[in-house]
Amino acid sequence: MSWFGRSKLPEVGTTIFTVMSRRAQALGAINLGQGFPDYDIDPRLTERVAEAMRQGHNQYAPMEGLPALRAGIARKLEAGYGLCVDPQDEITVTLGATEAIYSAIQALAGPGDEVIAFDPAYDAYEPAVRLAGARCIRLPLAPPQFRYDWDRVRDALSDRTRLILLNTPHNPTCTVASAHDLDVLAAMVAERPITVLSDEVYEHMVFDGRAHASVLAHARLRERSLAVFSFGKTLHATGVRVGYAVAPPALTAELRKVHQFNTFSIAHPLQQAIARYLEECPDTGADLPGFFQAKRDRLRAALGGCALRLPPAAGTFFQLLDFSALAPPDDVAFAERLLTEAGVASIPLSPFYAAPPPLSCVRLCIAKREATLDAAAERLGAFAQRLARAGA
Ligand code: GLN
């Protein structure tokens, strides 16, 4: 034994994303599990990164983020949402959205505090809350449409509630919060000392003509929210690990107190490159709804007549796969069969729940080349037929 302490996260293992990616690789399966694109990034971004290193931007960047990048983010927020955000005091560049969420939770919640999250909840939320010493209250989104049950939220609020963790567009259910949802939330927290931490990394992946309802664009939520975004998602480059948090100055100041001791500052050449890229491509992100909607629709069309059904997907680069017509409601077992028998890696929803109910859906990532989606659809379709025949 080389360690004598007590685990602070005793029941936490390796994330389901890592586990499924490893297994997909070992088995040579098509990996629609962990959310990342399998196609090339814009070569102009590659060039800007190489150029930034050649030009010597290889030492620490400022702790809060490169001024040119924060200015670019402010312009992007103005173009996208009509917002006036002060890049000096309201934007912090972070190591992906995950660091922003982690640092924000450490900064804003502590022992005796409660943090509300909605199940299925992204797996990074609760461990961050517990490491902060706070308690995570998990409230279910109501299936099959995974809508907010605001009465239940109201009942769960207490004097100890410090944070509400929102995620829209929502991973893994592919739903989006409506303007009405935000109104109800704003009214509910109005007289309480509650901050909204809103994970909006899929802000540009909203389909069928919908507009993304950001907490930043909601006048009453804006003043009490910290919203988190991701260049990894927007630039199709999850490996760059550059994200940012937007919040009023007082919240930003608290976030930075943790950020500076957590990651301190973010990869300088990458920040330079993204800043220049945003200057060159001021409408970055604008093409993403069409880009991902086409992928979603391609997969949906390919599985059109299949007994594996695809519930509506309003946003994110995921798509749920409903297997209730073919197998018992055990998503972990079904994901295992998809992997080993169909050769397609997916993500079960159970790990996103504090206490998972019987589940009949797994999550697929659609941020893939057409050929990948077509090959996966073929395997899924053939597997569904085999299951249907076996059951008949
Ligand atoms: N956000 C990615 C997903 O939901 C996973 C990131 C990770 O592997 N931690 O698939």
49 and 156 belong to one structural domain = yes
23 and 166 belong to one structural domain = no
Residue 8 falls inside a structural domain: no
Q: What is the pLDDT of residues 225-258, one digit of tens each?
A: 999 999 999 999 999 999 999 999 999 999 999 9
Q: End of a domain among 280, 310, 326? A: 280
- Give the C-alpha separation, 173 to 318, whole Å: 8
Within 10 angstroms of residue 357's Cβ, the number of other Cβ atoms is 12
Coil, helix or strand for 309? strand
Residue 111 falls inside a structural domain: yes
pLDDT band of residue 391 (cuts 50, 70, 90) is confident
In percent, the amount of the chain with pLDDT more than 70 equals 99
232 lines ligand 1 (CB under 6 A): no
CB hemisphere CA count around 324 (13 angstroms): 10
330 and 204 belong to one structural domain = no
Ligand 1 atom having least distance to the Cα of 18: 8
Q: What is the pLDDT of residue 143?
A: 80
Q: What is the pLDDT of residue 369?
A: 98
Residue 331 falls inside a structural domain: yes
Which pTM was predicted?
A: 0.97
Report CA(391)–ligand 1 centroid distance (Å).
34
Of all protein residues, the one whose alpha carbon is nearest to atom 4 of ligand 1 is 35
55 and 189 belong to one structural domain = yes
- What is the helix (H) or strand (E) element at residue 136, kind and residue range? strand 135-140
71 and 177 belong to one structural domain = yes
Residue 318 neighbours by CB under 8 Å, 6+ apart: 35, 171, 172, 174, 363, 364, 365, 366
Please say if the pLDDT value at position 392 is more than 70: no
351 and 255 belong to one structural domain = no
Mean pLDDT of the region 297-308 = 96
Residue 257 falls inside a structural domain: yes
Mean pLDDT of the region 159-186 = 98
CATH code of 307's domain:
3.90.1150.10
Residue 363 falls inside a structural domain: yes
Report CA(2)–ligand 1 centroid distance (Å).
30
Report CA(392)–ligand 1 centroid distance (Å).
37
Residue 181 falls inside a structural domain: yes
104 and 217 belong to one structural domain = yes
Domain that holds residue 196: 43-280
Mean pLDDT of the region 368-391 = 96
What burial class does residue 338 get, using C-beta atoms within 10 Å of its C-beta: 0-12 exposed, 13-18 middle, 19+ buried?
buried
291 lines ligand 1 (CB under 6 A): no
Number of domains observed in the structure of the chain: 2
Of all protein residues, the one whose alpha carbon is nearest to atom 9 of ligand 1 is 17
Q: End of a domain among 228, 249, 280? A: 280
15 lines ligand 1 (CB under 6 A): yes
Residue 9 falls inside a structural domain: no
Ligand 1 atom having least distance to the Cα of 21: 8
Ligand 1 atom having least distance to the Cα of 34: 10
36 and 87 belong to one structural domain = no
Report CA(199)–ligand 1 centroid distance (Å).
13
206 and 217 belong to one structural domain = yes
Mean pLDDT of the region 132-147 = 94
Mean pLDDT of the region 114-123 = 98
293 and 274 belong to one structural domain = no
Q: End of a domain among 280, 297, 313? A: 280
Q: In this structure, what token pair is assigned to residue 119?
A: 């199940």
pLDDT band of residue 2 (cuts 50, 70, 90) is low
Which among 34, 38, 236, 368 is the best mutation to test ligand 1's pocket, defined by most ligand atoms within 8 Å of the CB? 34
Chain mean pLDDT for the chain: 97
Of all protein residues, the one whose alpha carbon is nearest to atom 2 of ligand 1 is 35
Please say if the pLDDT value at position 1 is more than 60: no
187 and 59 belong to one structural domain = yes
Report CA(20)–ligand 1 centroid distance (Å).
11
123 lines ligand 1 (CB under 6 A): no
Q: Is the peptide bond before 144 cis (omega within 30 degrees of 0)?
A: yes
17 lines ligand 1 (CB under 6 A): yes
Q: What is the pLDDT of residues 314-330, one digit of tens each?
A: 999 999 999 999 999 99
Q: What is the pLDDT of residue 138?
A: 98
Contact 384, 308 (CB under 8 A): yes
Of all protein residues, the one whose alpha carbon is nearest to atom 3 of ligand 1 is 35
365 and 246 belong to one structural domain = no
Mean pLDDT of the region 90-98 = 98
